[in-house]
A = this chain, B = another copy of it.
Amino acid sequence: MPTKSPVIVDLKFIPKEVEDGLKGAFSGREVINLADPIHEGRDLSGIDYAVVWKSDPDLFSRATDLKVVFSGGAGVDHVLKLPGLPNVPLVRFVDRSLTTRMSEWVVMNCLLHLRQHHAYEARAKAHVWEDLSQPEAAEITVGVMGLGVLGQDAIAKLRVMGFKTIGWSRSKKVTDGVETFDEAQLDAFLGKTDFLVGLLPLTPETKGIFNASLFSRLSRKGVIGAPVFINGGRGGSQVEADVLTALRSGTLGGASLDVFEQEPLAKDSPFWGMENVYVTPHVAASSDVKALFVAVERQIERFENGLPLEHTVDRTAGY
Chain A contact residues, CB within 8 Å of chain B: 14, 16-17, 97, 100-101, 103-105, 107-108, 111-112, 114-115, 117, 120-121, 123-125, 127, 129-134, 136-138, 157, 160-162, 263-265, 267-269, 272-273, 278-283, 286, 288
Contact = CB atoms under 8 A, between A and B. Distances in A.
A161 B127 contact: no
Contacts of A286: 131, 134
A264 B162 CA distance: 29
Given A134-B283, A161-B103, A264 B114 contact: no
A17 to B, nearest CB: 6
Contacts of A134: 101, 283, 286
Contacts of A265: 129
A127 B274 CA distance: 11
Contact of A108 (B108, B269, B273): B108
A256 to B, nearest CB: 11
Contacts of A160: 157, 160
Given A111-B111, A137-B100, A132 B283 contact: yes
Contact of A272 (B114, B125, B288): B125
A17 B223 CA distance: 14
Most chain B Cβ neighbours within 10 Å, of A124, A129, A269: A129
A279 B117 CA distance: 10
Contacts of A129: 263-265, 281
A138 B290 CA distance: 14
A143 B310 CA distance: 38
Nearest to A103: B161
A16 B131 CA distance: 12
Contact of A100 (B162, B283, B288): B162
A104 B161 contact: yes
Nearest to A117: B108
B108 A111 contact: yes
A132 B286 CA distance: 10
A125 B136 CA distance: 29
A104 B283 contact: no
B105 A115 contact: yes
A107 B107 contact: yes
B115 A104 contact: yes
Given A108-B117, A121-B278, 12 more contacts: A101-B134, A104-B111, A104-B136, A105-B115, A108-B115, A124-B278, A127-B267, A127-B272, A129-B264, A131-B281, A131-B283, A157-B161
Nearest to A268: B127
9 contacts: A17-B133, A101-B136, A104-B114, A104-B136, A108-B117, A120-B278, A125-B272, A127-B267, A127-B273
